[in-house]
Structure 1
Amino acid sequence: MNWTHRLMHHWNLQRILRLVVGAAILGSGWNTGEMAVVALGGALIGTGLLNFGCGDTCASGACSTHAAKMVQKSTDTQSSEI
């Protein structure tokens, strides 16, 4: 997918909120000098700008996790008489 297409299309409320909250967190971290908070805000801004994540696709069922297959162990229980 073209990067300009990612930046210009499919703006919704969730994407705008990620951008705004990320900017607020980045600004707060910058003012306090906390670089970890700045990195978190930058990551949120990046996901908002580039529309990464599975926000829209989860609602449609396209974003799912696969359950691990359960391996059943056969347990042979033998009763023994004392």
Structure 2
Amino acid sequence: MERPPATYQVNGTELRRTRMRQGLGIKEVAAAAGIDRSYLQRLETGVRQHMRPGTYAALRTVLNIHDDRLLVGEETAEKR
């Protein structure tokens, strides 16, 4: 059985684009995902790029994403 990676490398631009496309505020998404607003902001701006699996899963749940388009190199996942 394959173990999940220790962290996921997140595409901040896609994260921000997805959040804004859904009309959600940064504070709203951060609170719902159980993370700090400043942490989410650093992810979106590229200052931070890595997330632990549980945090990544929570963020995907809040944004109602069922693929890996938020990961670096997976921007086209929703088009597949």
Question: TM-score, with normalisation over the residues of structure 1?
Answer: 0.26
Structure number having the greater strand percentage:
2
Q: Could you say which structure has the greater relative contact order, defined with CA pairs below 8 angstroms and 6 or more residues apart? A: 2
Higher helix share: 1
TM-score, length of structure 2 as denominator length: 0.26
